[in-house]
Structure 1
């Protein structure tokens, strides 16, 4: 498979954008389907029934934030690309497959919030998706697909920002077996740390 240039082959390049946008949109839509009053609480007073949905709502909020973060990260990668090739497309498919699994692990977490393994499973999935995201950036850099090559301090910041979620998500997966829901704090920590790194990166530009 050859290369497709953003300017010379806008239709082919646009197909990649359309595919990724579609998968993210469907994943976000599927998340809300897990929000329902548990069957055992159907006859309870409304306030009590709504309280029983708390674990599902917690999983929903976390999942929306996670999918949104991955979408913004991938959007940033697409904005950096000038070309796409077969290798990048090959990496994109399993990446999107992992994103598509997020509603499933959200459902597991909603149904079994008391089990540490549910949080560990979620962390493993997010860590794997982060690895695929980093591989796509590395491939694009190595194959000269970026509008501007990553050099100097800019390259360091991109490595740091790509590696941050890998480390924290996979670390949380292991610790989740011991601390359960507290492992989510590792996920939350990604956002402020990445925001600081992004701000420092812009200053260096």
Structure 2
């Protein structure tokens, strides 16, 4: 059986790329919370009113924290078995980090203008693009076994792709739907909870069957 040849030159080990991703995700998560604060010198009534007004910002922060944390976790899982990277892996990773670093902006939009369909559409599109990049990166690593210590098992790759695909579909569908049914479409994101739970259960059964 012939050994597949790399279509691009190998550019070294992935440690520096993973370290860069760690830094970008850490900064992006920090920026999510930087504007959550109260003015000084408030009386009791104003304090409670301002605190109530902060709830959308806190909710937007919590949502984006979970989104970024999930993508960071998946990025780490993806690179666990990678021993070499090539130009395509680097380009996709940098593109994804650029979108991740931008996420605090659409987060601020849904925090301040959550009732505006455009704000929901921009946020949804940003998450869908980030998920699509990660999905593509996984495909590349799966289909280029020479990048890994050992080839990624097909069943494991299918589980990862299903998980990422569910995120991409849910957020991509929200963007146009927000103009049709308004900002309440964001409640549709909750469908990801049972879907990801089911994918996780299926993935666990697949892993046990391969042992």
TM range (shorter): 0.7 to 0.9
Residue number in structure 1 paired with 2:171 = 169
Residue number in structure 1 paired with 2:113 = 112
Give the drift of 1:38. Answer: 7.4
8 Å contact 1:38–1:52 — kept in the other structure?
no
Aligned partner of 2:151 among 149, 152, 157:
149
State how 1:127-146 maps to structure 2 within 5 Å. 127-144=128-145, 145-146=147-148
Give the drift of 1:152. Answer: 4.6
Instruction: Give me the TM-score of the superposition, normalised by structure 1.
Output: 0.85
Give the drift of 1:173. Answer: 1.3
Give the drift of 1:82. Answer: 3.1
Check 1:4–1:159 CA distance in 2 against 1; reply closer, same or farther (3 A cut). Answer: same
Residue number in structure 2 paired with 1:9 = none
Secondary structure of 1:193's partner?
Answer: helix
What 5-or-longer segments of structure 2 have no aligned partner?
1-7
CA distance in 2, matches of 1:88, 1:142: 12
When the two structures are aligned, how many residues end up with a matched partner? 198
CA distance in 1, matches of 2:200, 2:90: 26
1:3 aligns with 2:10: yes
Residue number in structure 2 paired with 1:30 = 31
174-183 or 120-129, which deviates more? 174-183
Check 1:25–1:155 CA distance in 2 against 1; reply closer, same or farther (3 A cut). Answer: closer
Q: Deviations over 1:18-49 (max 9, x none)?
A: 1000000000100001213479xx67521111
Residue number in structure 2 paired with 1:8 = none
73-82 or 12-21, which deviates more? 73-82
RMSD: 2.4
Q: Deviations over 1:80-128 (max 9, x none)?
A: 4232212100111110000011101111112212211111110001001
Aligned partner of 2:190 among 182, 188, 205:
188
Give the drift of 1:193. Answer: 1.7
